[in-house]
Amino acid sequence: MVLAIEKDIIQWRRELHQIPEVAHDVPKTAAYIAGKLDEFGIPYKRNVGGHGVVALITGGKPGKTFGIRADIDALSIEEETGLAFTSTHKGMMHACGHDAHIAIALGAAKVLHAMSADLPGQVKVLFQPAEEGPGGAKPMIEEGVMKDPAVGAIIGLHVGGIFKEVKSGQVGIGRGAIMACLDSFKMTVWGKGGHGAMPNATVDPIMISSYIIQALQTLISRELKPTNPGVITIGKIQGGTAYNIIPEKVDLLGTARFIQEEDRENISKRIGQLASQIATSMRGRCELEYTYGYPPVVCDESFTQFFKGIAEEVVGHHNVVALDSPTMGGEDMAYFLKEAPGTFFFLGSVKQGAETYPHHHPKFDLDESVFSTGSTLLAETAVRWLKSDT
């Protein structure tokens, strides 16, 4: 049934690609989704957790409730693809494939609605804003999207080439923790400013910061179990006004990523302790603001095995790729997977050419021929799970 609407799915993606919006400010995107759901005859609720849209497909028989999640926001990037359907919103672009996620989910919804008379239970399709930040899953959950009726299992996907080993048309599947938490922090290192030629009369926060930056890496190399992934990155250093002036303070911005929640809890505390002790030993001080962002994305073992069998039927055993190592990227699909068992899979769909561009690049583009595969996987998994005894 999905192949019959393959061209529609591609067209929806192209239309969505032209109207990218960022974070929670996605009114045009939400209106587009609502318009398609109206065409399909699927009831929905708008303005959930902001501009979130929740569609409900009700089967002809009583039963369980399955969830499908698609993120809908774009990025603050000026597009350089030269596509005929390029972004019409200056400084905004679907450079991570969320336009495809919406179109794929709409395709699955249309097919499921067409066969709803034979379905037991319900399917909720959750169109979620702000995945790229500051986070849209949690507000939607707080407004009750996983309840009434309660979602018993949930699935989501990501297109593109996050995992290089997953080629176009292939499906990447990981068990357990497959993506990292997404934490951030800000440090303010205080010293005593003065003349650059008279450092003995100052407390140099730039020098203190340099020691802190290097020492933070020892938390990964010496305090984290070597087999457990972890990353601490300082992405911004800001301090000083002139070449010959030692400033009063330096601001450091960074991110911390962990797969294991225990590592996250331990190292997040040690970041502040280590930085403060270094600053104090050098006659300065350090203040830390640590923000716990998205938790790790953890795929349920049993449900993932269930999905793997379906994927092998749809794309062939040789096109299902086992993801043995996680990515340190983050995703707020994690919040939905804390509410219900499920999985988050990766649909290889990088457009091949003279040069291939990664996610979040102004020339990022997708292989549209695999979108129907995504819709098939979502719809087939929903049908099989609703009819199962799990």
Catalytic annotation, pick one of 71, 79, 99, 131: 131
Alpha helices in 183-300 (DSSP H): 205-223, 261-281
With residue 71 as reference, give the H or E element that holds it: strand 61-71
- Which neighbouring-strand residues pair with 142? none
Is 25 designated active site? no
Q: Which of 191, 185, 202, 215 minimizes the C-alpha distance to 285?
A: 191
Map residue 171 onto helix, strand or coil: strand
Is 368 designated active site? no
Terminal alpha carbon distance of the chain: 25
Q: Which of 178, 150, 173, 175 minimizes the C-alpha distance to 340?
A: 150
Q: For residue 95, which amino acid is it?
A: A
Asked if 309 contacts 315 with a C-beta cutoff of 8 angstroms, the reply is no
Which long-range contacts link 164-167 to residues 24+ away (Cβ below 8 Å)? 165/321, 165/323, 166/321, 166/323, 166/346, 166/347, 166/348, 167/348
Q: Which of 76, 131, 66 minimizes the C-alpha distance to 98?
A: 131
With residue 28 as reference, give the H or E element that holds it: helix 27-40
- How far apart (Å, rounded) are the C-alpha atoms in residues 122 and 105? 15
- How far apart (Å, rounded) are the C-alpha atoms in residues 225 and 233? 18
Angle, helix 98-114 to helix 27-40, in steps of 10 degrees: 20
The residues, ordered by sequence, that sit 6+ positions from 297 with a Cβ below 8 Å of its Cβ are: 177, 178, 179, 180, 330, 331, 333, 334, 337, 344
Catalytic annotation, pick one of 73, 204, 367, 380: 73
Q: For residue 184, which amino acid is it?
A: S
- Which residues belong to the active site? 73, 131
